[in-house]
Structure 1
Amino acid sequence: MFLKRITLLREDVPSFTAFPFTIPAIKNLEDITVNKSVTFFVGENGSGKSTLLEAIADKCEFNTAGGSRNNLYETHASESALGEYIRLSWMPKTTNGFFLRAESFYHFATHIDEVDTTGFQAYGGRSLHEQSHGESFLSLFLNRFNGKAIYLLDEPEAALSPQRQLTFLRIIHDLASTGNAQFIIATHSPILLGYPGADIFSFDQDRMERVEYETTDHYLITKSFLQNRERMLEDLFKEDS
């Protein structure tokens, strides 16, 4: 465990009427304590989970377009608007890690093509562009993720089939169980959220709250759909009377 607490420096915020402080969960943030080696952020699109994850990456001095401290490249709108207004408390502090942004992974892969001189040893021996989207993600997780580090992942399930999400859960387990790796993951996946013993913070009730897996919409809606698929689809497609 490395990152222990995330605090919003409210006295430094110039205005709570400008983005990202118009997002209720960000506006109402005081601080959150991180107790587990695996922590999930969940919520609807626009609820602030990716915004906070990006700000954490910014404070870690990771490239907010995706990558580590050593990956120097830029993409459009990759600068964090929240990073300078949060404080991270560490015990102990680590400078190693990686920030994965599913939406800008293509640009990261292009950057690696331009700078890699090792034959892509950290990515399975092949250019990430020469692998399928899912293969490239797993190559990153299997080969680049190691040692004492913090991993910040924004929707890693975007490229992973359900079976590969299970493979990824095993990768998380193998790394986190050593005590040398910490994960903070923003996700919509009910499979990933099922990781045993993880903390889940919901951003959906205008503030960040720690919730149980079985109370998340991701679990409840998926369970209801699988158990009542025909009824749910019938109600969904029913014409207004």
Structure 2
Amino acid sequence: MIGSPFLSRVSLRDDRVQAGVHPFTLPVLANGLTLEFTTPVTFFVGENGSGKSSLLEALAWATGFGLHGGNRDHQYVNGEEGHALGRALALTWRQRSTDGFFLRAETFHQFSSYLEESESTFARYGGRSLHTQSHGEAFLSLFEHRFEDGLYLLDEPEAALSPQRQLAFMQIMYGLAQQRVAQFIVATHSPLLLCLPGARVLEFDNGAISQVACRDTEHFRLTRDFLNDPERYFRYLFAPDDAD
């Protein structure tokens, strides 16, 4: 994978840290934060509660996206100002990008409803209302028709996608990264997406962030081992309780 990312570095400004206030209480932020983005596609992976989605949301706020999803023009929810962690982030750019999109899987329905009320045409979303499509179809329509150049911050984009459509999404990401027109920072639990060639995987684990190979993530290992021998897991998961 070729190309240089637009956003090259994010760090935590000590003077804006609010001690004892969430999300600054997350273990991953206990010793400050400095991340370098060296590839067009970066994955955040880790257990629930590890801080990857909180950081992605803060990045979205700091770069001007609405916290419930969309681009910089989609400020459709009141009370989005003053994001504590977003205000505390210092961003370094190789080339400032004003285009892009922030996707939150959990608020995508709300974003789709906003489009129903505000858009006269759905040309940028496949020509059809997102509400008339299945969840997975709507996601893929967004990826295929809305993603061009810019910075894309995606929180669990695989949530509505079948394995086959996850592969189609990988193809979209790879193609845009090859053209040097887009940067993706993606929080995911998908072992399929983590295997995207040339992507960098940052694992959030035990309060630390470290670069790992996709095959060394717990998500990949667990999925591989389960599919290779599901009965071994069934014996543990569904074992009868020990008799008294």
- TM-score tier, shorter chain, comes to over 0.9
Report what 1:86 is aligned to: 89
1:168-179 maps to which residues of 2 (within 5 A)?
A: 168-179=169-180
1:129 aligns with 2:131: yes
Report what 1:203 is aligned to: 204
Q: How much is the aligned-residue C-alpha RMSD, in angstroms?
A: 1.5
1:44-59 maps to which residues of 2 (within 5 A)?
A: 44-59=47-62
Report what 1:164 is aligned to: 165
Deviations 1:135-187 (A, max 9, x none): 1001101111113x000000000000000000000011111110010000000
Q: Which moved more, 1:158-167 or 1:18-27?
A: 18-27
State the alpha-carbon separation in 2 of the partners of residues 161 and 196 from structure 1: 20
Report what 2:141 is aligned to: 139
For 2:12, give the aligned amino acid: L
1:106-121 maps to which residues of 2 (within 5 A)?
A: 106-117=109-120, 119-121=121-123
For 1:7, give the aligned amino acid: S
TM-score by length of 2: 0.94
Deviations 1:49-76 (A, max 9, x none): 0000001100110111100101121178
Q: Is the Cα–Cα contact under 8 Å of residues 66 and 80 in structure 2 kept in the other structure?
A: no
For 1:42, give the aligned amino acid: V
TM-score by length of 1: 0.95
Report what 2:226 is aligned to: 225
Given candidates 69, 73, 80, the residue that maps to 2:72 is: 69
Q: Secondary structure at the match of 1:168?
A: helix
Report what 1:5 is aligned to: 9
Offset of 1:125 from its aligned partner?
0.7
Q: Which runs of 5+ in 2 are unaligned?
A: none
Q: Is the Cα–Cα contact under 8 Å of residues 43 and 185 in structure 2 kept in the other structure?
A: yes
Offset of 1:77 from its aligned partner?
7.7
